[in-house]
Structure 1
């Protein structure tokens, strides 16, 4: 099969197109013919060493073992099975829950042995992938490309919104609202939980598209007095912030949060380290949440909402698998809306 593997830490030249044997499903596993694999920050930061190198690079103590096939947002068709898998799994169109874990229901994502497809296991930058059958779920939409954009970004966004528990009439500020997670934060907070959403982006040409996704207001982070603008359009401070930017908007986020407000982060594209004046946090009774991925129950609920049409796929562009280098380079450019998808 054709696959793209990461050979080590570095730039996009560490991505190589190779020919590898098709993997064989073991007991309780299935072989999936990959039809689409969306790109996430996760595999780019892994390659760049942003999480650290050596033992710090992955989810397990031993770190990522190179070469590794990345890719965790996968949709495809089951074409073979190992022992212990029911016959009716073959032929199913599926999306993959992206990690294994021995954690009990509701705590899978915080288990010490959590292992991620594309990091601890070979992933979806390939024509075929093997995965446990119990972690393969029916595709929520009839289109492979559209179904592939939710697994990691969608579950991360869903879990973030669950953390802050917005209610109808409350206001949620979403940073990085044009990205994969951010655009889903907008949809889930507004269309599932009924909140008003202030979407923060870089390019105001995306304003109408963000409003179509459910944003009440759209503002550029480039505004000189961004905090004042947020307070003005909202008529006061906001209830919660869903953040994927990190340092660049952290101070503004704390400024505009109400007393008793909630700040939830799952990313740091705008800087991984920041300064925090603890007085701001305790005097305003702010709750800080760190969040990544989510639970199987949340994944299933998300798929239901997608099937109902309440959460829609947002796709910026597709690339053929062998153009993975170009796709990852494009991923890092500004001004996009939604996901980038590789098509084997």
Structure 2
């Protein structure tokens, strides 16, 4: 499988162009942000992308390819034989209302985001409501644990752009909008992608975020900041219930990639994130600070974001993990009814006009 440059034989106008990012002395983690920005200075190859997608394509090259070209050349990435591979599900409803990108969290099985007929899951809810679904799989979350040990921010952005391309093309075919439903890491990856220049701009009509990894607690960040001291082969155990885990734990590389994406997004000041967004979080979340998240929303002028506090005190899954609120089992029946009702109202209400996007 290869990606070709556009039919004109010329590089897209965006190739190699770097978006200017405002920096201030108040920016936290400025050294890490500088490293993240330096990644964007890598040269973009003027030739076709020749490496197989499974080998992990450089995002710096992939970002200069259009969604149409990517979707045409990656159709076999959506593997129906693998329950945790990227999947495209079509609604059986007579009228298609939109295409929803559904993205999992760190070390969460993609299949736990749902499937057709899996009652009490996000994917089933969306399909029954008249939406096609692209269920995302990020590198390291299917197959062997070895894949988790070599992940990077670049690879996750590549995965996200490839799978967004599928949603984009299906939405154009049906003449409907593209929406985002992201949990934890999945929310972070796609927010970062929205704020990164790509040949086809990544845009969503609306977004629903669950426990988004956009404001890690200081205690969590301090603990995970020690991951560079660990051997690459180390595995950091997960707190989520065993049935939800993609692997027995996450790798140091995975946490380093998460930090890089969060810092990159802050460096971009969430410039393209102020779309209508419904955000669910448990105030007792073990990883995300609700107060810090609200401060970040205010700091970056995310006036179209609405935060909803929920509790998973009625969760059936064990051990109870407040960060995990993605289905009826881990959120609890009462909370799940509240979440699904809010989502139904949110998606059915007319979208407000958004500001034009430009880099």
More helix per residue: 1 or 2?
Answer: 2
